[in-house]
Structure 1
Amino acid sequence: MTAALARPILLRYAAPSELAAAPLHSSVRLSLDGARGPVGVRGTVRDAALFRDAMAALATILESDLRYKGRDRTAYLAYLMKQGKKATAAIWEAQKAFLEGAFPDDAAPQGDGSAAKPRASGALDPVLTVHPDEVSIEVFSRDESAYARLAFSSDLFEGREAAHGTAFVDLSPRIVEQIDRLRAYAKVELDAGAARADAAAARSAPIERSIEVPTTWLRGFLQVQSAATLPAVSCELAPIDLYNALFVLRTRKAKKPPRGLRFELVPGKPPRLILEPWEILIEGHGPPYEGPPRVVRTFGRQRLLALSRLLPHVQRVRAELRGPGLPVFWVLDLGRATLTIALTGWTDSSWASAASFDALMPREGKGGDKARAALDALAGRQLALLRERGPLPLASLAAGGGAEDARAALQLECLRGRVLYDVARRVYRPRELFADPVDERDIRYSSPREAAAHRLLGAPGAVRPTKVHEIAGEGTEIHGEVADREAHRDFAPRFTMDLEGRVSDAWCSCPTFRRSGLREGPCEHMIALRVAYARERAERDALRQTAEGRSLIRAETRTYVRREASGAEVVYRVSLDDRVVHLSWGARAEAPRHQRIWFDTDGEARDAYFKRLDALTSSGFVDADASSA
C-alpha cells in the first residue's frame, strides 16, 4: 500500500501560551489543544531550577536541526542584477523557491515586514500527557533524528490538580526564550489546560491552525515508539562519565569519519566509552556491567550536547542499546523528573532508515490473515487492560500467553499511536496520539519507490545480495541482483555503506538511475537490496549460533577487541573466504600484521575459522560485530 502524503490535523488553542516572570513570583501558562477534551494539570512547582533547566533542554532538542543548509544567495543575486551582470529575476525567484522548498519549517517574513503566515505543512506540536503518577511532554526534533520525553513526577507539584489525558501543547519559541527568566528562589506556578477563564485569556485571541503532517515525520516519530519496545542491552553510567564525554565533544571537532561513540561492556567492570576518531578512552565510574561481553558502536553523539544544561541535576544515567541502525535511548534520572532521549544514527529520516523501519513493521503475509487477526485481537485486549489498570510491565501484560506475541501486539499499538513504552520505568502506558488510531499501512512506506521495493521483496528469490566486500577504512560494498518480473528484466544494483552506516556511491543498471542518478533519490532496486541485505545479515547472525547455521557460512569477517591493562586496544580481525582464512591483528593505532592460511576444503577452513573465534573469546577478546546501534 502506498503511503499517504500527509495527515491533516486541526489544532485549536483557546489562547497562546504565556510566561509571566516577577522577582518573587512567576507563572507558566501552557495552552493545550481543546479538541481532546478536559486535559490539564495545575500546581506550584517545588523545584523551579529543575523545571526551568529541564524545559530548556527539551526546547533545545525540539529546535535542533543538524541538516545541511545551503547559503541564501538571493542578496548577492540582487546585487549582480543591479550591476547589470547575468543574473535575471527568474534565477532569483528560482533560488527563493528552492530555499522555501528545501526548508519549509523556516517561515520567511512577508514583504510588508509583518509576521510570517503559518505554513500548511509541518511537524506536530509537542505532546503533553497527564498520567496519575506523572506529567510528560514528548518532542521530535526538526531533522527527525532526536526524540525526547520529559516526565515530571507528581510530587514535583504542590497542590496538584489534574485531568488525565493527552493533548498537543503550544510550546512556541517565544515561550522557550522566556524560560530562562524563571528564578530558582521564586515561586513558580504551572497551569496547563485546554481553556483558561481568567481575564488575560479572555483578551487573547484564540489560535486555530490547520497543518498537514508529513508522512515522513509521523513515520519517524512512531518508529521511535516501536523501537523502544525491543529488547536492549542496558548499562549505567555515573554523571561524571556523561560530563567527560560532553567535554570532549565540546572541545574537539571530528573532521573525518568514523564519528561513533563506542561502548566497551565487560562483565563485572564499569562500562567504558571510546570517542572516535580520536580513540579517547573514558573510564566509567558507574556500577559494574552485568551481561554478555559486547562492544557496541553508536552514532548521533553530537546531539548529546543538548543535555549539558541538565548536568547539575543528573543523579544517574542509563544507556539502552538496541539493534543495528535503531535508536539509542539515554535515560537521565533527575530526581523528581526523568528525561528520556532517543538518538538515531542519521539526520532526516531517509534511505538510511528504510532497513531499520522494516524490522519494526509486522511482515505482510506472515502467518496469513488469521495470524494478523489474532495479533489485532491481542493488541485490542492489551490496550483495554492498560486503559483500565494504567501503566503495566510486559510480564503483567503477557500473563497467560507468550512474551514475544505480547511484545509484537504492543509494538503494533505503538505504531498506531495508542500505546507508549516508558523506557525509564520499563512499563507500557496508554497514550492516544490522535483521536483515531494511525493505520500502520499508511506509514509502512515512505515513498512509492519504497512500496515498489517491497513488492520486489515479496517475490521469493527476486532480490539477492551476490557480493559483500569489506573495504578497509571505508566501509562495506554490497552488490546484488534484482529480478523485476513486471519489467521482465534483471537489474544489478550496488552501493557502499560507510563506517557510520550511511549509504554512498550507489549505482544501478535500471533506466531510472541512468536518467537521473541519485538526484531523485534511490531507485526501488537499491532500496530492495538494502533491505534484503539487512534481513540476510539478521538471519545469518541468528543462524551462526547453531551448528547447522555455521555449516552454511562460506564467507564472513569478524572483529574482536581486547583492552590491555595499559589502556591500549588490541584488534583481531578474522576473515573466512571459501578455503582461505585471513588473520589481521595488532594495536589499533599501529599497522596490523597479516597472515593467510589455505585449506584443502571449505569445511576445514570453516572449522579453523570458528576455532579461532572461540580461542579469542576464551582469551578475553570481545566480539565487536555482535551489536552496533
Structure 2
Amino acid sequence: MTTTPARSVQLRYAARSEVSATALASDVRVALDGGRGTVGVRGRVKDPALFRDTLMAAAAILQSDLRYKGRDRTAYLAYLMKQGKKATAAIWEAQKAFLDKALDEDTKTSGALDPVLTVHPDEVSLEVFSRDESAYARVAFASDLFEGREAAHGTTFADLSPELIAQVDRLRPYAAVDLDAGVSVAGRAPGEDRPVSVPYTWLRGFLQVQSAATLPAVTCELQPVDLYNALFTLRTRKAKTSPRGLRFELVPGRAPRMIVEPWEIVLESHGPAFKGAPRVVRTFGRQRLLTLARVLPHAKRVRVQLRGPGLPVFWVIDLGKATLTAAMTGWTESSWASAASFDALMPHSAASEVELGALATRLSALLVERGPLGLSALSEAAGVKTEAVRAAMQLECLRGRAIFDVAREVYRPRALFTEAVDEQLIRYGSPREARAHRLLGTPEAPGAGEVKITKIHEIAGEGVEIHGQVTDLEARREFPPHFTMDLEGRVSDASCTCPTFRRSGLREGPCEHMIALRLAYARKRVEEDALRQTEEGRQLIRAETRTYVRRDESGAETVYRVSLDDRVVYVQWGARSATGWSGAAATAPVESRASSVRHQRIWFDTDREARDAYFRRLEDLASEGFVDADAASA
C-alpha cells in the first residue's frame, strides 16, 4: 500500500472557539493559530445578519462533500450470519471493503487545512476549501463593517469547528454581536496543539484553484433574482440523464441567458447587456451553487467569470459590506479527468524557471511593501511586460505567498505557510501523471517518448472517442490507449495494453498512457483554436464542422450546421426541436427532421474557394446574431 506525500502542519490554539450569548448581546470568539505571531481582529459587527449568513455560506462550502458514499451494509450482513447463513468469502470481502472505505474517508476528512484567515488594512478575509476538493470560497468583510475595529495584520488559521458554526447560526439581528478573533481571554477553556498532515493532492487543488483566478476570463453580470431562479430550478428538479451542465449564452448587446440541461430550461437574466464576442459556455458542478442560497437576501449584484474548458467558474457576489467569491468546479478529488485542466494552470512564460522565480519573489516583495496592486500597476512598478507578471504571480499563488482578489481584481500578499510551498511538489496529482508529462515532454526538453493522436471520433450529443499511439522509450514498447469522453468530461470505455491496465483496469485509476493521451488531446484543442484565428491556420483546414445557434424572443432556437469537406460546403439548418442536434432536450423522429431541416450542398472548383466560402458563411452567421456552440467550455 503506497502512502500519499503530505505536509505536516502544527496548529496551536490557545483556546477553543465559542459564542457566549445573552438576551441582547453575543460575543463571537474565534481561536487562531498561535504559531503565526500576533494576528487578529476585534470590533462590534454593524450588520449581524450579514455577518451570520456569510459565515454560514462559507461553512456550507467547507463542509460540502459530493463524493459517492456507499451504503453501510454491515448490519445486514451481521443479521444474515445470525440467521445461520453461510459466512462466505464475499461477505468478508464486503466488510473489508466497507472498513477500508470508512477509514479512507476519515483520513480525507482530517487531512485538510483549517480555514485561512487574513487581516488586511482594508478588509478581513476567510478562505475555505471543500472536503471533496471541488469548491473554494473567499469571504471578505470590509473594515467599515466593524465599529471600533482593532486589527493586527497577517495570515493564520482559524478554528471554525462545527460546534462554533451551529452557535453562529443562532445569532439574531436584533442582538449586538462582538467579534473577537485571536485574542486570549482569561477563564476560557484551553485549546489544543493539533498536528495536521495535509496531503499534497489536497494542497494542490487548494492552491491551483487560486492560481486559476489569475487567468483571463469572460465576465458577465447577473441580478440576484437570476441566481435565485437558477437555484430554484436546481432544487426542484433532479437530472437523471446527461448532460447536466449550466449553459451560458452570451450575445453582444443582450443580457446573458442561462440554460439548465438536460431540460433546456431557459432563464432570461435581468443584468446589463453583455459586451464581447458572442459565445456559448457550458459549465458543470452546478449542484455546488446551492451552498450560496444563504447569502441571497443580502446580494446586490452577481458577477460570473468564465475561464477555459474544465477550469473553475468564479461567482462573485457583492453583499454590500462583504463579498463572497466562490470557485465551482465540475470534478471531485482532482481526478484524472481534470489533469488537462490543471495543466493549463501552471505558469507559462518565455523566461526560464530561474528568471520567473526571481521575478515572482521581487513582485511578492512589492505587494508586501505597497499593498494590493492590479496587474497593470505591478507591471509598471516592476518594469516588466504584463504576460511575464501574470506568469510570475501565478507562480506566487502556487507557492502560497499571494492571492488574486477576483472581486477587486488586485493581487494581495497572503503567506499560507511561513515557508513557500515547493511548486514541484504540487505540479502533478500522482506519480502516474508525472510519468505522463514525462512522455509528453516540454518545449524546452524532449519527452521520454512520443504521443500521437491517431483518431478522433465525434459522437453527436454524446461525446468524443479518442485513439492514440504512445511510444515509451524507457519501456521500449508502443501502447495504443483509447477512451470515450462524454459531454461532462467523464471517461468510459477506456483500454490500453500496458501491464497496469491489464492488471487492474480503471480500478486503480488510469495508466500514464491514457493520461498522456488526454493531455495531448487538450493541448491539441488549444493549439487548433489559437491557430484557427490566423490566416495561416485557416489555410490548413480542409475538413471541419461548426454549429451556430440563435434564440428568438419566444425561446425557440434556430440551428445552423456548416461543414467543409475538401471542395464541398454542406449546410443544414432548422429549429432545435426538430433537428435533435447536440444540446436538445429530445430527439424528434426521422420523418419530422426530414420535413423541417433544410439542406444545401455546394461544390467548388478548388479547395481554396470552398474554404473561403465556408468561413464567409460563418462570418455572416455571426453578424446575424448566431453564436458558435462548438466553442462551449466543458
Q: TM-score range by the shorter chain?
A: over 0.9
Give the superposition deviation at 1:540: 0.7
| Distance of aligned partners of 1:554 and 1:102 in 2 relative to their CA distance in 1, 3 Å threshold | farther
Of residues 532, 537, 557, the one that matches 2:545 is: 557
Matched with 1:394 is 375
Matched with 2:474 is 486
| Distance of aligned partners of 1:535 and 1:347 in 2 relative to their CA distance in 1, 3 Å threshold | same
Matched with 1:52 is 52
Matched with 2:333 is 348
Matched with 1:103 is 105
Trace 1:310-349 onto structure 2 (pairs within 5 A): 310-349=295-334
Matched with 2:364 is 383
SS at match of 1:28: strand
Conserved 8 A contact 1:491-1:510: yes
| Distance of aligned partners of 1:319 and 1:269 in 2 relative to their CA distance in 1, 3 Å threshold | same
Conserved 8 A contact 2:108-2:131: no
Give the superposition deviation at 1:153: 0.4
- The one-letter amino acid of 2:258's match is L
Give the superposition deviation at 1:105: 5.1
The answer on 1:281 being equivalent to 2:283 is no
Conserved 8 A contact 1:3-1:443: no
User: What do the CA deviations read for 1:215-239 (whole angstroms, capped 9, x no partner)?
Assistant: 1111111111110001111111111
Of residues 516, 527, 540, the one that matches 1:539 is: 527
Matched with 1:624 is 629
Provide the C-alpha distance between the structure 2 equivalents of 1:605 and 1:223, rounded to a whole number of angstroms: 44
Matched with 1:137 is 126
SS at match of 2:344: helix
Provide the C-alpha distance between the structure 2 equivalents of 1:234 and 1:579, rounded to a whole number of angstroms: 39
Conserved 8 A contact 2:347-2:394: no
Give the superposition deviation at 1:623: 1.2
SS at match of 2:515: helix
| Distance of aligned partners of 1:92 and 1:236 in 2 relative to their CA distance in 1, 3 Å threshold | closer
The answer on 1:503 being equivalent to 2:491 is yes
Trace 1:142-153 onto structure 2 (pairs within 5 A): 142-153=131-142
Conserved 8 A contact 2:155-2:414: yes
Provide the C-alpha distance between the structure 2 equivalents of 1:551 and 1:510, rounded to a whole number of angstroms: 38
Provide the C-alpha distance between the structure 2 equivalents of 1:437 and 1:396, rounded to a whole number of angstroms: 24
Conserved 8 A contact 1:3-1:447: no
Provide the C-alpha distance between the structure 2 equivalents of 1:457 and 1:506, rounded to a whole number of angstroms: 20
SS at match of 2:177: strand
Give the superposition deviation at 1:577: 4.6
- The one-letter amino acid of 1:103's match is E
| Distance of aligned partners of 1:77 and 1:559 in 2 relative to their CA distance in 1, 3 Å threshold | same
Matched with 1:115 is none
The answer on 1:259 being equivalent to 2:278 is no
- The one-letter amino acid of 2:154's match is G
Provide the C-alpha distance between the structure 2 equivalents of 1:477 and 1:270, rounded to a whole number of angstroms: 35
Matched with 1:111 is none
Conserved 8 A contact 1:493-1:529: yes
- The one-letter amino acid of 2:360's match is A
Conserved 8 A contact 2:54-2:139: yes
Conserved 8 A contact 2:231-2:290: yes
Give the superposition deviation at 1:93: 4.9
Provide the C-alpha distance between the structure 2 equivalents of 1:509 and 1:612, rounded to a whole number of angstroms: 44
Q: Which moved more, 1:569-578 or 1:184-193?
A: 569-578
| Distance of aligned partners of 1:314 and 1:499 in 2 relative to their CA distance in 1, 3 Å threshold | same
User: What do the CA deviations read for 1:316-356 (whole angstroms, capped 9, x no partner)?
Assistant: 10001111111000000000100000001212211121001
Conserved 8 A contact 1:3-1:215: no
SS at match of 1:104: helix
Matched with 1:206 is 191
Q: Which moved more, 1:543-552 or 1:80-89?
A: 80-89
Conserved 8 A contact 1:325-1:345: yes
TM-score under structure 2 length normalisation: 0.92
Give the superposition deviation at 1:475: 0.6
Provide the C-alpha distance between the structure 1 equivalents of 2:613 and 2:482, rounded to a whole number of angstroms: 31
> Gapped runs of 5+ residues in structure 1?
108-120
Matched with 1:71 is 71
Conserved 8 A contact 1:21-1:181: no
Conserved 8 A contact 2:334-2:429: no
The answer on 1:613 being equivalent to 2:618 is yes
Q: Which moved more, 1:144-153 or 1:459-468?
A: 459-468
Conserved 8 A contact 1:4-1:443: no
Trace 1:135-214 onto structure 2 (pairs within 5 A): 135-193=124-182, 195-200=183-188, 204-214=189-199
| Distance of aligned partners of 1:600 and 1:497 in 2 relative to their CA distance in 1, 3 Å threshold | farther
Matched with 2:583 is none
Alignment: residue pair count: 607
- The one-letter amino acid of 2:480's match is A
Give the superposition deviation at 1:91: 4.2
Of residues 426, 440, 447, the one that matches 1:457 is: 440
Matched with 2:586 is none
Provide the C-alpha distance between the structure 2 equivalents of 1:139 and 1:218, rounded to a whole number of angstroms: 12
The answer on 1:234 being equivalent to 2:215 is no
SS at match of 1:218: helix
Provide the C-alpha distance between the structure 1 equivalents of 2:5 and 2:108, rounded to a whole number of angstroms: 20
| Distance of aligned partners of 1:56 and 1:79 in 2 relative to their CA distance in 1, 3 Å threshold | same
- The one-letter amino acid of 2:393's match is L
Of residues 508, 515, 520, the one that matches 1:520 is: 508
Matched with 2:83 is 83
Matched with 2:391 is 408
Provide the C-alpha distance between the structure 2 equivalents of 1:345 and 1:415, rounded to a whole number of angstroms: 21
Matched with 1:443 is 426
Provide the C-alpha distance between the structure 1 equivalents of 2:569 and 2:455, rounded to a whole number of angstroms: 18
Give the superposition deviation at 1:612: 2.5
| Distance of aligned partners of 1:434 and 1:555 in 2 relative to their CA distance in 1, 3 Å threshold | farther
SS at match of 2:106: coil
Give the superposition deviation at 1:106: 7.8
SS at match of 2:38: coil
| Distance of aligned partners of 1:3 and 1:315 in 2 relative to their CA distance in 1, 3 Å threshold | farther
Conserved 8 A contact 1:470-1:476: yes
SS at match of 2:630: coil
SS at match of 2:621: helix
| Distance of aligned partners of 1:596 and 1:477 in 2 relative to their CA distance in 1, 3 Å threshold | farther
Provide the C-alpha distance between the structure 2 equivalents of 1:569 and 1:233, rounded to a whole number of angstroms: 23
Give the superposition deviation at 1:303: 0.9
Conserved 8 A contact 1:4-1:442: no
Of residues 552, 557, 562, the one that matches 1:569 is: 557
Q: Which moved more, 1:454-463 or 1:482-491?
A: 454-463
Provide the C-alpha distance between the structure 2 equivalents of 1:468 and 1:597, rounded to a whole number of angstroms: 26
Q: Which moved more, 1:374-383 or 1:599-608?
A: 599-608
Conserved 8 A contact 2:251-2:625: no
| Distance of aligned partners of 1:101 and 1:530 in 2 relative to their CA distance in 1, 3 Å threshold | farther
Conserved 8 A contact 2:367-2:412: yes
Matched with 1:27 is 27
Conserved 8 A contact 1:74-1:95: no
- The one-letter amino acid of 2:398's match is L
The answer on 1:122 being equivalent to 2:73 is no
Please report the RMSD computed on the Cα atoms of aligned residues, expressed in angstroms. Answer: 2.0
Q: Between the two proteins, what is the percent identity of the paired residues?
A: 71
TM-score under structure 1 length normalisation: 0.93
Provide the C-alpha distance between the structure 1 equivalents of 2:116 and 2:485, rounded to a whole number of angstroms: 35
Provide the C-alpha distance between the structure 2 equivalents of 1:77 and 1:284, rounded to a whole number of angstroms: 52
Give the superposition deviation at 1:602: 4.7
Provide the C-alpha distance between the structure 2 equivalents of 1:253 and 1:96, rounded to a whole number of angstroms: 28
- The one-letter amino acid of 1:557's match is T
Give the superposition deviation at 1:627: 4.5
Give the superposition deviation at 1:509: 2.3
Provide the C-alpha distance between the structure 1 equivalents of 2:187 and 2:460, rounded to a whole number of angstroms: 68
Matched with 1:113 is none
- The one-letter amino acid of 2:99's match is A
Give the superposition deviation at 1:605: 4.2
